[in-house]
C-alpha cells in the first residue's frame, strides 16, 4: 500500500473482524474511523495503526495477563530495566549463552557414592572442556531442558516446579558386560545426569556425541 497509489481503493480506518462465535463486527482504528477514507495523504498513518492492531491490539487481553504475571514475579522489573541496555536485559530474561566450564564444574553436585574423583567423572569434564560452546549448550539442554545458564549462574538452575536444583551427576552400572552399549540419561525435572560407568574415555565420548546430535530425541519414564 505504501508503494502504490490508493486513490481508487475503497478503504477506511476500520477493519472487519470475527468474534468468538464467528460473527463479524467492525473495529475502528481511530475515532470515527469507519467514516475516514484512506488516501494518499494518510495511508502511512493507516498502515501504522493497522500494524499496531495486528501486533498488539488483537492480543491486548493476553498481553495484559502476561505482563501482570511478569510484574507479580518481578515487581521491580520496570525500575530495573531503566538502567539496563538490551544485552543486559536479554541476559536477565533469557540467560547466559556462553558457558564457563570452570563455573559449571564448581557448581556441580554428585549423588553418593559418586564423587568428582571418579574416573568416569574426570573423563566427563575433560570431554566437556574440549567441546564447542554449542555442544555444551546442547548438553546443558539435554540435562536441564534449558540451553542457557541462568543470570545468577549455575546456582540459579531450577526444577520444573521452580525450585532451586543444582546440576548434579550420578554414576550407574553398565547394562550387562563392561563393554555393553548404553547412553547417558537425564532427569530434566531435577537437573541430574546419570553417567554409565564406561570402561574408557573413548567409550564415554562416543555415547556423549550421540546424545548431542541435533536430531537426537529421547523420552522415558522411570518405574
Residues annotated catalytic, as ranges? 189
In angstroms, the CA 10 to CA 6 distance is 8
In angstroms, the CA 53 to CA 33 distance is 13
Residue 35 C-beta-side C-alpha neighbours within 13 Å: 2
Give me Rg for the CA atoms of the chain: 27
Determine contact, residues 107/151, Cβ cutoff 8 Å: no
Contacts with 121 (C-beta within 8 Å, 6 or more apart), sequence order: 110, 114, 115, 169, 171, 195
**Cis peptide bond upstream of 152, omega within 30:** no
User: Which ranges constitute the DSSP H helices of the chain?
Assistant: 43-55, 60-73, 77-81, 86-94, 101-107, 119-129, 133-144, 201-211
Q: Which three cell numbers stand for residue 220?
A: 522415558
Amino acid at each position: 500500500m505504501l508503494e502504490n497509489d490508493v486513490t481508487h481503493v475503497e478503504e477506511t480506518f476500520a477493519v472487519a473482524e470475527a468474534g468468538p462465535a464467528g460473527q463479524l463486527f467492525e473495529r475502528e482504528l481511530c475515532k470515527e474511523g469507519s467514516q475516514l477514507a484512506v488516501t494518499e495523504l494518510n495511508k502511512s498513518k493507516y498502515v501504522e495503526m493497522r500494524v499496531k492492531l495486528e501486533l498488539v491490539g488483537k492480543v491486548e487481553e493476553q498481553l495484559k495477563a502476561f505482563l501482570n504475571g511478569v510484574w507479580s514475579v518481578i515487581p521491580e522489573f520496570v525500575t530495573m530495566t531503566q538502567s539496563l541496555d538490551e544485552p543486559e536485559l536479554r541476559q536477565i530474561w533469557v540467560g547466559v549463552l556462553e558457558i564457563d566450564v570452570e563455573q559449571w564444574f564448581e557448581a556441580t553436585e554428585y549423588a553418593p557414592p559418586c564423587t568428582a574423583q571418579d574416573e568416569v567423572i574426570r573423563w566427563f569434564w575433560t570431554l566437556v572442556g574440549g567441546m564447542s560452546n554449542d555442544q555444551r549448550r546442547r548438553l546443558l539442554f539435554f540435562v536441564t531442558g534449558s540451553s542457557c545458564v541462568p543470570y545468577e549462574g549455575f546456582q540459579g538452575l531450577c526444577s520444573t516446579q521452580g525450585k532451586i536444583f543444582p546440576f548434579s551427576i550420578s554414576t550407574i552400572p553398565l547394562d550387562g558386560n563392561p563393554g555393553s552399549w548404553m547412553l547417558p540419561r537425564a532427569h530434566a525435572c531435577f537437573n541430574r545426569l546419570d553417567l554409565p560407568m564406561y570402561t574408557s574415555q573413548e567409550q564415554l565420548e562416543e555415547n556423549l556425541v550421540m546424545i548431542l546430535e541435533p536430531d537426537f530425541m529421547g523420552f522415558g519414564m522411570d518405574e
